[in-house]
Chains A and B, each alone.
Chain A
């Protein structure tokens, strides 16, 4: 190798090092996206900010995914007051952007959530926009769910990183506001938190962030009143907001009309025309989103806030994004269904009685059964759950599927009885509460400032 060539390589190496030092995060590709059926209408907030709450209900870790594109988050240090600017910013930071990822739900060797779970909690931050040069119409933020387990098209088990995105379109759409799905999603989320061993049945009033996430105070007023409050037309300009996995199938080139994820709204009765609502769950079909991209369910729920300053709904919009594995979401959905909805067939009735009897240990076994399904059967179960939610009649095949699932669940719970904790050993709500009290005392007494 001559010296000239050596110099070229040296320069390339140094430039690469410089780029690596300057760029704090690895880059990602932003898929093109237009408004879809999973874009909910949120207020931009008269103060121009939206609170985002990110919850990881998967066993996988999540990292912030830097995107080098206009209107994405980046350093903002221009001190020239005369330069009008336009950008999105996150004043208190971004979860998963530090040296450690957002932890997943701790699981045992069977893949079941470990109890107690003192790890899972929301990551709350705020996004705002400087629009003084021009309105920032489109902006987005992405995270990578790491090493997601999935089944390939050949039936082999594999793992892959899956990107999840949050998209804002701040064009102030002239859309009416609806609120009918928030309550349904909250009931699934409550079961999910019990499933993940964050709370026990009836323990949702203990932890402040759980109360907030489940909107316990809001719903204390009744769902009708909540719906009225959450649709008040008074909180400034509107935006479209959507959260979903980034597809790797035939929709990898762009998301939009004709290339949207499947969604369900847990409404009763089901009516797709009601969108945009204040909650939605999205998941890609395997052909559209890829076998890896279809493995996750992303739910989005909105507290829109109100200019009236309602004491519990607040004034700044709050968007909660929860990332789920498909089996945990399906199991939580099934467990959250009321008896009346499961009455549609013998299989449904049997599953309901087993889940009611065994509670969380039964849900864990149900999730284990679902995990063993191939993508086609998971999709079929998903369609059944949607039909049950909406009280739509099931087909003969769907009824037979539920009968098989009920028999398998009965077999597993009969021959491998779930390990229920002894009476009175409800350790984790007290443990969680005592941890919070301990934390409060530590902060109150001026001891170490570490929150442990």
Chain B
């Protein structure tokens, strides 16, 4: 009797721990195909904020899958591609879920380069297609930020780290992120989504002055959280 009670208690404990473990399951399961923000194919937007002295230009190698008329980000309904934003200005591309240019799932890159600035500061918004765990939710893709080349001047690491007083995030850890940040002493680049629908890429410049670089003037907080309770995010 006593042994049965102990056994039942043990089983209950194991069951409870298992449920707790299920409940607090965090990002980074093995079946996740890529790093970053998970996007379904529902009314997303991509905004580019250029807070630098230079024109910010971009090219696309994004491949589209699924809907026949899905042309990918920064194309309009007529096939025109919008590829730059002026210094200190912003540009936004929106999918239109009511039209034929609603995104499906994408793979490939948007590569961003500051005009006249060396390539070491170029970055990519990297798309990886993956079917969600629950097909009812529709297709989607992972969206992440990464340096555009191996000789990048932008700090990249496998773990979070303070770089020039700001919080750099990993870019290839196959975990979910809502914000990803690459940092150098000249520019800080961040890709974030507060709602898993609207994505913003910001380039921000460190100026110099008669006192030297502004790097030590900037500070901040640790920003690397995950907020996505969609039940069918793949790999989660």
Contact = CB atoms under 8 A, between A and B. Distances in A.
B107 interface: no
A449 interface: yes
B24 A89 contact: no
A76 B116 contact: no
B147 to A, nearest CB: 13
Q: Kindly state the interface size class of chain A when it binds its partner.
A: 35 or more
B227 A106 contact: no
Interface in A112-131: 118-119, 121, 123-126, 128-131
Given A91-B190, A130-B178, A75 B211 contact: no
Contact of A93 (B45, B89, B186, B218): B218
Contacts of B88: 124, 208-209, 211-213, 318
Contacts of A84: 227, 229
A106 B90 contact: no
B215 interface: yes
Given A81-B176, A81-B228, A100-B216, A444 B202 contact: no
A162 interface: no
B150 to A, nearest CB: 14
Interface in B170-198: 175-176, 178-179, 181, 184-186, 188-190, 192, 194-195, 198
B208 A451 contact: yes
A96 interface: yes
Contacts of B216: 98-100
Given A119-B210, A315-B92, A79 B188 contact: no
Interface stretch (B9-17, B46-54, B65-73): B46-54
A208 B111 CA distance: 23
A316 B220 contact: no
B225 interface: yes
Interface residues of B, number: 75
A316 B194 contact: no
B41 interface: no
B226 interface: yes
Contacts, number: 238
Interface of A: 24, 46-49, 51, 64, 73-85, 89-103, 106, 118-119, 121, 123-126, 128-132, 208-209, 211-213, 217, 305, 307, 309, 311-316, 318, 435-436, 439-440, 443-446, 449-452
Given A132-B194, A211-B87, A451-B186, 16 more contacts: A24-B219, A47-B47, A47-B92, A77-B224, A78-B227, A79-B226, A81-B236, A82-B24, A82-B229, A97-B220, A124-B88, A128-B200, A314-B90, A314-B91, A440-B117, A449-B185
Interface of B: 23-27, 45, 47, 49, 51, 53-54, 85-92, 94, 114, 116-118, 120-121, 153, 160, 165-166, 175-176, 178-179, 181, 184-186, 188-190, 192, 194-195, 198, 200, 202, 204-229, 233, 236
27 contacts: A46-B92, A47-B45, A47-B200, A48-B198, A77-B224, A81-B233, A90-B220, A92-B166, A93-B188, A94-B218, A100-B217, A103-B217, A118-B209, A128-B194, A131-B194, A212-B87, A305-B90, A309-B92, A313-B89, A314-B91, A316-B49, A439-B53, A440-B54, A440-B116, A440-B117, A449-B184, A451-B208
